[in-house]
Amino acid sequence: MIVIVMARSLSRYWLVVLGILIVGGWVLLGQQTLAAPPDQGAAEGATPPEQTVLLPLADAEGAALTGDAPGYAYVSPIIEAHQPFTHVLVRWETTETEAVSHTHPLEARLEPASELEIRVSHDGTTWEPWQGVEEDDELWMPEDGDNVSWSPVLYAGEGMQFWQVRVGAGTGDPPLDVHRIEVNTVDGRLEGEQKPPTSATQASSEGVSLASVAKPPVVSRTAWGCPDGQASRVGVAYYSVNHLVVHHTAESNTLGSSESNWAARVRAIWNFHTYTRGGATWAITT
């Protein structure tokens, strides 16, 4: 479970300086590619996520590929990343058809009618199976807009180089309701890194009083390989705090069967939050 602590002052959110406050930028390079060069505000040793933008409704060439994929309204070209990657974060925008008003802002969001899938490859020839891209409401913010969706952080595998996305044909008219897809890739590994040993046992919480529970262990930024080290590259700023908001994502406390490096995953989450979502703070696991 990843816990993000934020403070609200007036009408703006400010990250409490418990961990990291870093803002990155993106540079448009064309219709399909949106990448942040490593030297643009990146710490030494840090490589910002590589971002590619697809515009399905305007991509006539991509739309033509669906003749080889019945049931799909859009199949992207095969994209070769500039750098190998281990993790993927996807953002997509749907056409605004209708939204149902609810009291909770997340409940008023548009549900995409089309299914989004992604696959990855080491060499562009042998591919991993297509994987459905689920929506992660915890990454969404009101300023994104009702038609924007985010995926959770997806583990792609070690050293992937190619990826491709496709969108299932929806039930509406036109059948394609996704007009923008952003795919962010990052390599969470460190050269020569030794995977930390995993604990063979976990203590039971039954019958344990809060008074007897010791302070939890803290894995420092240096220990998990934060590119910024212990200190943020951004100067400390102070604001009046009216109250704190503790917000958590839906991250699992266990890795998938093919993923074994917690530090690499934390670095991937740090990269995506820092450069793609504008900041990151505290990672807490039970």
DSSP state string for 81-132 = EEEEEEEEEEEEEE--------SSGGGGSPPPSS-EEEEEESSSSSBPPPEE
pLDDT computed for residue 248 by the predictor: 58
- Identify whether 126 is part of a domain: yes
- Identify whether 256 is part of a domain: no
pLDDT computed for residue 117 by the predictor: 93
pLDDT computed for residue 46 by the predictor: 60
- Identify whether 70 is part of a domain: yes
pLDDT computed for residue 169 by the predictor: 77
List the chain residues with pLDDT less than 70.
1-46, 59-69, 96-114, 170-176, 192-208, 210, 233, 244-253, 278-286
- Identify whether 235 is part of a domain: no
pLDDT computed for residue 28 by the predictor: 26
pLDDT computed for residue 13 by the predictor: 31
- Identify whether 279 is part of a domain: no
278 Cβ contact list (under 8 Å, min separation 6): 23, 24
Global pTM value: 0.66
pLDDT computed for residue 82 by the predictor: 94
- Identify whether 273 is part of a domain: no
218 Cβ contact list (under 8 Å, min separation 6): none
pLDDT computed for residue 45 by the predictor: 53
Range of the domain at 178: 23-186
Query: How many domains is the chain built from?
Result: 1
CATH of residue 171's domain is 2.60.120
- Identify whether 199 is part of a domain: no
The model's pLDDT over 76-103, given as tens digits with 9 standing for 90+, comes to: 999 999 999 999 999 999 876 544 333 3
- Identify whether 276 is part of a domain: no
